[in-house]
Amino acid sequence: MRYPTTVEDVLAIVNEARNRGITVKAIGARHSQTDIICTEHIPVDMTNFKSFTMNPDGVTASFGPGVTLREAGEFLQQRS
């Protein structure tokens, strides 16, 4: 399992997979246990790769891949 925290980390993982001829699989919060998270390749946990940004319109927001729905909701609630 890999835990990237920067764009450079993600690029390194993707480049490694490309060089080895394997795939990368992003793994979510694992609230549901299904076979979809199983892989023989490179599993990537995006939990540490979070970003929260209000867009210039002041109404919408953008979130990084590690943000949970709960965290997104709390972020928006604090700004309403």
Q: What predicted TM-score, i.e. pTM, was given to this entire model?
A: 0.70
pLDDT of residue 73: 95
Q: What is the pLDDT averaged over residues 26-52?
A: 77
Q: Write out the H or E segment, with its range, that includes residue 24.
A: strand 24-27
> pLDDT of 39-49, one tens digit each?
678 999 988 88
Q: Write out the H or E segment, with its range, that includes residue 76.
A: helix 69-78
Is residue 32's pLDDT more than 70?
no
Of the candidates 56, 61, 62, the residue with the CA atom closest to the CA atom of residue 79: 61
